[in-house]
Structure 1
Amino acid sequence: MKVMLVDDEPLALQFLESQLHSIGDFKIVGAYQTSRGLTERIKDKKPDLLFLDIKIGAVNGIELAAAIQEAHPELPIVFVTGFHEYAVQAFELNALDYLVKPIQKDRLRKTIQRLKMDEQKNGSDAPLQINCMLTLQFIQNGKALPVQWRTSKAKEIFCYLLHHAGKPVRKDVLIERFWEEKAPEKAYTQLYSTIYVIRKTLAASLPALSLSNYNQCYQLHLGNAEVDAARWQDRVNRLPVLRDHSLTSYQELLRDYKGDYFAAEGYAWAESGQWQLKEIWYKTATQVTAFLEERNMLEDAVSLYLRMQSDYPYIAHSYIRLMHVYGALGETGEVVSHFKRLKMMLKDEFDIAPESEVVDWYESWRVQHMQG
């Protein structure tokens, strides 16, 4: 294992190096008394583990580690210090461990064991599928993972960070959204506690995911995990022009929309993303149903229109098109039924009547049917 050490005390560096050599086969790829150029040294030496003093002269090791995690999010960091007072900040940064000088062999062994356990867990994990459409769910090896959230707040903030995955989210934004009514000091204490809970949950159940802290922001890193909503939207963007040969791809895409974005959780902040995906689905469904009608595939059109009506009951379009399609199929009872449903929906929800064009079509169809 390649290890890098940073401590402004030369004796502390020598002691840590000797302790490491006494408990295992470690290759020290760098032992530095200054943090100058450390990010570039890490890039060049590619260590598997970094031991970092929390105070390196005038440099704050916590802030330095945040910058390192931004550039090298996969590098485990172990903080070393003579004081306990930085422990909360260290773990809030998602450090692998926190060691107090003088470092004891048994304590150092536990740190290395923790790293090896994390590596084994990450190495054996199959790709993670994260579902957000309808409800939050984690799938691995075809099975749902039983992830336990200690608090509903921790779950919601994780979901919010997942919504912004790969992008930094400012701490003050989280405070304003989730703890606006709290005094700033209490709000930040609760934020840090919640982030700690999230980190513990990720470490225990979702080690493929990681959370970094840099420049007053948090950022969720997905690794090789895949989010269903993002994948579904990507499939929409890659659809070919709708033709006979591509119709199946469109139909499969519509069927694979399993539910609205975080609908089961009911998060208010998710509504914009929810409506964006719903609009894409409905627009695509409208395109497909029109194509099916053109090809006289009326039964397939009816099936899709009924889903549109069920999922989006306050849009008149599906009622009107079902009247036309059922009319073409000779299903007179269904035409009458859907006209009545349309009238009732418009009256109950909007206190309006169907447009005159729709009423004229229906009356004309009814006269022709009665005459027939």
Structure 2
Amino acid sequence: MKAILIDDERLALEYLTKQLTGIKQVNIEVLGGYNDPLEGKAAIMEQPPDIVFLDIHLPEISGLELAEQLLELRPQLHIVFVTAYDEYAVQAFELNAIDYVVKPFSRDRLTKTLLRIEQRAQESLLPAAPSNRPLGIRLFRQLMVETGGVETPAITWRTSRAQELFLYMLHHRGRLVRKDELAQLLWPDFDLKRAYPQLYTTVYHIRKALEPHGDHLRLVSASDGYRLELDRVELDIERWERQLRELPPLSADTQARYAQLIEAYEGDYLEDHDYWWAEGERHRLSVRWLELGLRLARWYADHDSTDKALTLYHQLSERQPQEEELHLGLMQLYAAAGNRIAVERQYRLLCQLLEEELGEPPDPRTRGWYEGWRAR
């Protein structure tokens, strides 16, 4: 493995070089050491190493920020942060499993770090997603990735916050999201001084996790924030809404397309991830799905397909148990079939659900229908 060292202390560079070249368990070649971070960056661009040992506290630029720039340009780099003890930085590295060494360096610690990176490099030699195929990302229910309709190995996240940060950026795909917004979202109890090291290391992990899909997904630094850029990526939620817009008028010839689109809604948006920021989009999509389902269920009922209507109403109510329109539709079907027991049971269930969840009775329209039916 080839390494470049960046540290503003000349003695630290000389000592680290000596320690690295003395390691026998790993074949390591030091290409150069630089006190000036800009010179070091230029050398990395000219002759890319496998590893960069990078001091956190540098003149002109933070080592964490320089790492961001390097990884954006050379995503395959392995970066080992070098630091005198810094409480917030070390805490961030420990929590995020980032490679770091604390001055003064011990050869044993350096050896373990290099062996770990060597192993990680071998594990990362997996076939990348074919660049000539679009990358499919499923967001109904939970995050899944597929290529050519075939599910690919799951993206491995070092931490739950790395996954949430990626999904938040995907939620705001193509838009610049400020660093302070991300810091407040993921570390609300930290001030920015403590939150930024966490953010930088989390971004580092996301970029590493996305390497197999680098032709399709890029998390780029821009101004005071980040932007997730997508290239030939198809999101299931976008495909579903596009197909919804393209639906022809509902008829005997087109009903199957409506039913297929209802089935394609495999779960609410990021349903298995309890993120408060996803609630608005989750609600919007679920309302569109419900409206589609109600439209088809009513069409079934109006065209003597009672069994299909009952099945669909029950399917919808499993996901939307408090939606009164579903209970009313079921009661009307039961009433048309002369099943008074089923009507009474459905109305009691509705009253119970609304009382438990909202502390309210059914709305006047539902009550009016029920009372009118009972009076017959």
TM-score by length of 2: 0.66
1:90 aligns with 2:36: no
User: 2:195 is matched with which residue?
Assistant: 187
User: 1:279 is matched with which residue?
Assistant: 287
User: 2:225 is matched with which residue?
Assistant: 217
1:345 aligns with 2:353: yes
Contact 1:80 1:98 in 2 (8 A): no
For 1:267 and 1:325, locate their aligned partners in 2 and report how far apart those are by CA, in whole Å: 38
Unaligned runs of 5+ in 1: 1-52, 63-76, 100-113
User: 2:180 is matched with which residue?
Assistant: 172
Contact 2:331 2:342 in 1 (8 A): yes
Contact 2:176 2:227 in 1 (8 A): yes
1:299-338 to structure 2, matched below 5 A, reads 299-338=307-346
Root mean square deviation of aligned Cα: 3.4
1:57-136 to structure 2, matched below 5 A, reads 78=45, 87-96=66-75, 121=128, 123=130, 126-136=133-143
1:293 aligns with 2:301: yes
For 2:302 and 2:346, locate their aligned partners in 1 and report how far apart those are by CA, in whole Å: 21
What do the CA deviations read for 1:287-341 (whole angstroms, capped 9, x no partner)? 2222222222222111111122111111211111101112223333322211221
Moved more, 202-211 or 271-280: 202-211
Displacement, 1:269? 0.7
Return the match for 2:145 from 129, 132, 138.
138
SS of the aligned residue for 2:329 comes to: helix
What do the CA deviations read for 1:256-301 (whole angstroms, capped 9, x no partner)? 1100111101111110110110111112222222222222222211
For 1:124 and 1:349, locate their aligned partners in 2 and report how far apart those are by CA, in whole Å: 49
Displacement, 1:54? 7.9
User: 2:20 is matched with which residue?
Assistant: none
User: 2:86 is matched with which residue?
Assistant: none
Q: Percent identity?
A: 29
For 1:353 and 1:366, locate their aligned partners in 2 and report how far apart those are by CA, in whole Å: 17
SS of the aligned residue for 2:253 comes to: helix
In structure 2, the CA distance between the partners of 1:335 and 1:190, relative to structure 1 (3 Å rule), is same
Displacement, 1:200? 0.5
Contact 1:129 1:140 in 2 (8 A): yes
Unaligned runs of 5+ in 2: 1-35, 79-120
Runs ≥4 residues deviating over 6 A? none
Counterpart residue type for residue 262 of structure 2 = L
Counterpart residue type for residue 138 of structure 2 = N
SS of the aligned residue for 2:45 comes to: strand
User: 2:164 is matched with which residue?
Assistant: 156
Contact 2:327 2:350 in 1 (8 A): yes
In structure 2, the CA distance between the partners of 1:178 and 1:363, relative to structure 1 (3 Å rule), is closer
